[in-house]
Amino acid sequence: QITLKESGPTLVKPTQTLTLTCTFSGFSLDNGGEGVGWIRQSPGKALEWLALMYWDDEKRYSPSLENRLTVTRDTSKNQVVLTLTNVDHVDTGTYFCAYRDPWQLGTLTIWGPGTMVTVSS
């Protein structure tokens, strides 16, 4: 059974760097086509895709946030880490990680419960 869970700070000050961790189980992120994606949702708003880490260490980022985002992995801990630099109030929201399933056409099939982040001084 595949599960994912996000963790990180609930409050971050403007201009600081936000670091979130996605800890997963049920897969090892080493099968062709697998990936872990990050998606966020501002309060009352739609979903916004941020980044995706592929099994082969390839990384993809949202074009609008590419210069502020970094995604890395720690294979030994089954974790994928998202870093967002120079945060602003507009970065407040719930951050989700999700499993990219190669056997379901690369769809983001299983999502973590999300972690709420508030950017405020």
Partner 1 sequence: EIVLAQSPGTLSLSPGESATLSCRASQSVSSSYLAWYHQKPGQAPRLLIYGASRRATGIPDRFSGSGSGTDFTLTISRLEPEDFAVYYCHQYLSSPPRHIFGQGTRLEIK
Looking at beta carbons only, is 16 or 23 nearer to partner 1? Answer: 23
3-class state of residue 81 by DSSP: strand
Contact pattern from residue 59 through residue 88 relative to partner 1, giving x for each residue in contact according to CB under 8 A and a dash for the rest: -x-xx-------------------------
Q: Does residue 35 interact with partner 1 by CB under 8 A?
A: no
Closest CA to 120 of 7, 6, 15: 15
Residue 35: phi and psi, rounded to 5, are -165, 165
Q: Give the one residue of 28, 72, 86, 104 binding partner 1; rule: CB under 8 A.
A: 104
Q: Does residue 109 interact with partner 1 by CB under 8 A?
A: yes
Instruction: Mark 27-41 as b/e (b = at least 16 C-beta within 10 Å).
Output: bebeeeebbbbbbbe
Category of 65 on φ-ψ map: left (φ > 0), alpha (ψ -120 to 50) or beta: alpha
Q: Does residue 111 interact with partner 1 by CB under 8 A?
A: yes
Q: How many residues at the interface with partner 1, by CB under 8 A?
A: 22
* Residues lying near partner 1 in the complex (CB under 8 A): 37, 39, 46-49, 52, 60, 62-63, 96, 104-114
